[in-house]
């Protein structure tokens, strides 16, 4: 069975109209989750906790989409030699 990992993260944006973080070193990593439903619940909790701050946003990244399992190796594997 294929694992579909999701990363929930967020932080303060430069402006609410763009997805550029004000200080990437201060990005809040909520966690990695085994499925979309649990990632969504974590995202929703953080989004609701920061609802009064228009400059703070949280996102769900689909980690499983970053790797093509059908390819022999990914670009990061090639860097290691």
Asked if the structure places residue 53 within a domain, the reply is: yes
Residue 12 lies in a domain: yes
Model pLDDT for residues 16-73, shown as the tens digit of each residue = 999 999 999 999 999 999 999 999 999 999 999 999 999 999 999 998 887 666 655 5
Range of the domain at 73: 6-79
Distances in whole angstroms, Cα of residue 75 to Cα of each of 44, 62, 80: 32, 18, 9
pTM of the model: 0.78
CATH number at residue 75: 3.30.70.2400
Q: Is residue 66 assigned to a domain?
A: yes
- Answer yes or no: is 1 within a domain: no
- Domain count within the chain: 1
**4: exposed, middle or buried (C-beta count within 10 Å: 0-12, 13-18, 19+)?**
middle
CA distances from 13 to 29, 36, 69, 78 (A): 15, 24, 33, 33
């Amino acid at each position: 069975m294929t694992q579909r990992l999701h990363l929930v993260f967020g932080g303060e944006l430069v402006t609410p109209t763009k997805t550029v973080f004000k200080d990437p070193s201060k990005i809040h990593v909520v966690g990695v989750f085994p499925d979309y439903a649990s990632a969504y619940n974590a995202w929703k909790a953080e989004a609701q906790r920061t609802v009064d701050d228009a400059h703070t946003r949280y996102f769900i990244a689909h980690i499983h989409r970053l790797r093509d399992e059908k390819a022999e190796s990914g670009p990061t594997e090639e860097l290691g030699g």
